[in-house]
A and B are shown apart, each in its own frame.
Chain A
Amino acid sequence: MAEPIAKREPPLRPEILRQTRDVSGLGAVERPLTAAERLMNQAGVRRSLILIGLAAAWQLYGQYVGNNLILPTFFEVLEALWEVSRSGELPDRVLTSLRVLTIGYTAGIALAAVLTTLAVSTRLGADLLSTLTAMFNPLPAIALLPLALLWFGLGVGSLVFVLIHSVLWAVALNTHSGFSSVPETLRMAGQNMGLRGIPFVARILVPAAFPSILTGLKIGWAFAWRTLIAAELVFGVSSRSGGLGWFIFEKRNQLETASVFAGLLAVIVIGLVVESVVFRSIERRTVRRWGMQR
Chain B
Amino acid sequence: MDQASAPLLEVRGVTLQYKTDQHLVTATWRVDFDVHPADRFVLLGPSGCGKSTLLKGVAGFMAPVEGTIALKGRPVERPGPDRMMVFQEFDQLLPWKTVEDNVVFPLEIAGRAKGLEARERARATIAKVGLSKFREVYPHMLSGGMKMRVAIARAMAMEPDILLMDEPFAALDALTRRKMQEELLALWDELRFTVLFVTHSIEEAILVGSRILLMSPHPGQVRAELNAGTFGRGQIDTPEFAALARRIHDMLFAERIESEGRAGHG
Chain A interface residues toward B at CB < 8 A: 183, 185-186, 188-189, 191-196, 199, 203-204, 207-208, 210, 286, 289-292
Q: Jot down 9 A-B pairs with beta carbons below 8 A, ordered by A.
A: A185-B87, A185-B92, A186-B91, A188-B59, A189-B92, A191-B79, A192-B84, A291-B139, A291-B141
Q: Which residue of B92, B96, B106, B109 contacts A207 across the interface (Cβ within 8 Å)?
A: B96
Shortest C-beta distance, A88 to chain B (Å), equals 43
B89 and A183 contacting across the interface, CB-CB below 8 Å: yes
B87 and A189 contact, CB distance less than 8 A: yes
Residues of A within 8 A of B78 (CB): 191, 196
| Further contacts, 4 of them, CB under 8 A, given A185-B89, A289-B138 | A191-B61, A193-B105, A290-B138, A291-B141
6 nearest CB pairs, A to B: A291-B140, A193-B106, A191-B79, A185-B89, A207-B96, A290-B95
Q: How far is the CA of A290 from the CA of B78 in the complex (A)?
A: 30
- Quick check: is B81 within 8 A (CB to CB) of the other chain? yes
Q: Does B94 contact A (CB under 8 A)?
A: yes
Contacts of A186 in B (CB 8 A): 91-92, 94
A290: B residues at CB distance < 8 A? 95-96, 138, 140
CA–CA, A186 and B139, complex, Å: 13
Q: List the A side residues contacting B89 at CB < 8 Å.
A: 183, 185
Q: A196 — nearest CB in chain B belongs to which residue?
A: B78
Inter-chain contacts of B94 with A (CB < 8 A)? 186, 189, 204, 207-208
Q: Determine the residue in chain B with the shortest Cβ distance to A207.
A: B96
Contact B61 A183 (CB under 8 A): no
| A194 and B91 form a contact (CB under 8 A) | no
Minimal Cβ-Cβ distance residue in B for A190: B94
Chain A residues near B92 (CB-CB < 8 A): 185-186, 188-189
Tell me the chain B residues, 74-122 only, with Cβ under 8 Å from chain A: 78-81, 83-85, 87, 89, 91-96, 105-106, 109-110
- In the bound assembly, the distance between CA atoms of A98 and B109 in angstroms comes to 39
The interface size bin for chain B is 20 to 34
A194 touches B140 (CB 8 A): no
Q: What's the minimum C-beta distance from A185 to chain B, rounded to whole angstroms? A: 4
A54 CB to nearest B CB, Å: 38
Which partner residue on chain B sits nearest A199 by CB separation?
B109
The distance in angstroms between the C-alpha atoms of A291 and B94, with both chains bound, is 11
Check if B96 sits within 8 Å of A286, measured CB to CB.
yes
Contact of B79 among A194, A210, A286, A289 (CB under 8 A): A194
Instruction: Report B-chain residues with C-beta under 8 Å of the C-beta of A289.
Output: 138
How many whole Å from B99's CB to the nearest CB in chain A? 13
Nearest opposing residue in chain B for A188, CB measure: B61
**Inter-chain contact A193/B96, CB cutoff 8 Å:** no
CA distance A199 to B106 in the complex (A): 13
Complex Cα gap A208–B94 (Å): 8
Give the chain A neighbours of B80 by CB distance below 8 A: 192, 194
B110 pairs with A193, CB closer than 8 A: yes
Query: Which of A188, A192, A203, A292 contacts B95 (CB under 8 A)?
Result: A292
Residues of B within 8 A of A192 (CB): 59, 79-81, 83-85
Cα A199 to Cα B109 in complex, Å, equals 10
**Smallest distance from the beta carbon of B93 to chain A beta carbons, Å?**
8
In the complex, chain B residues 168-218 whose Cβ is within 8 Å of any chain A Cβ: none
B151's nearest neighbour on chain A, judged by CB, is A189
A188/B85 in contact, CB under 8 A: yes
The residue that A195 contacts in the complex, of B61, B96, B109, with Cβ under 8 A, is: B109
**Cα(A191)–Cα(B164), bound, Å:** 14
Among residues of B, the one whose C-beta sits closest to the C-beta of A183 is: B91
Query: CA–CA, A211 to B105, complex, Å?
Result: 21
Chain B 59-77 near chain A by CB (<8 Å), digits 1 or 0: 1010000000000000000
**Min C-beta distance of A123 to chain B, whole Å:** 16
Q: Which residues of the other chain, A, contact B84 by a CB distance below 8 angstroms?
A: 192-193
Q: Which residues of A contact B95 (CB under 8 A)?
A: 208, 290-292
Chain A nearest CB, measured from B9 CB (Å):
16
Q: Which residues of B contact A185 (CB under 8 A)?
A: 87, 89, 91-92
Which residues from chain B contact A203 at a C-beta distance below 8 Å?
Answer: 109
Report the minimum CB–CB distance from A209 to chain B (whole Å): 11
Look across to chain B and name the residue whose beta carbon is closest to the beta carbon of A204: B94
The CA-CA distance from A183 to B78 in the complex, in Å, is: 20
The interface residues of chain A lying within 8 Å CB-to-CB of B59 are 188, 192
Interchain CA distance A207-B105 in the complex, whole Å: 14
Measured CB to CB, the closest approach of chain A to B31, in angstroms, equals 21
Partner of B109, one of A193, A286, A291: A193
Minimum CB–CB distance from B34 to chain A (whole Å) comes to 23
Q: Which residues of A contact B87 (CB under 8 A)?
A: 185, 188-189
Chain B residues within an 8 Å CB radius of A286: 96
CB distance from B157 to the nearest CB of A (A): 12
Across-interface contacts of A194 in B (CB, < 8 A): 79-81, 106, 109-110
Cα A203 to Cα B78 with chains together (Å):
19
Interface string of B138-156 (1 = CB under 8 A from A): 1111000000000000000
CA–CA, A233 to B46, complex, Å? 70
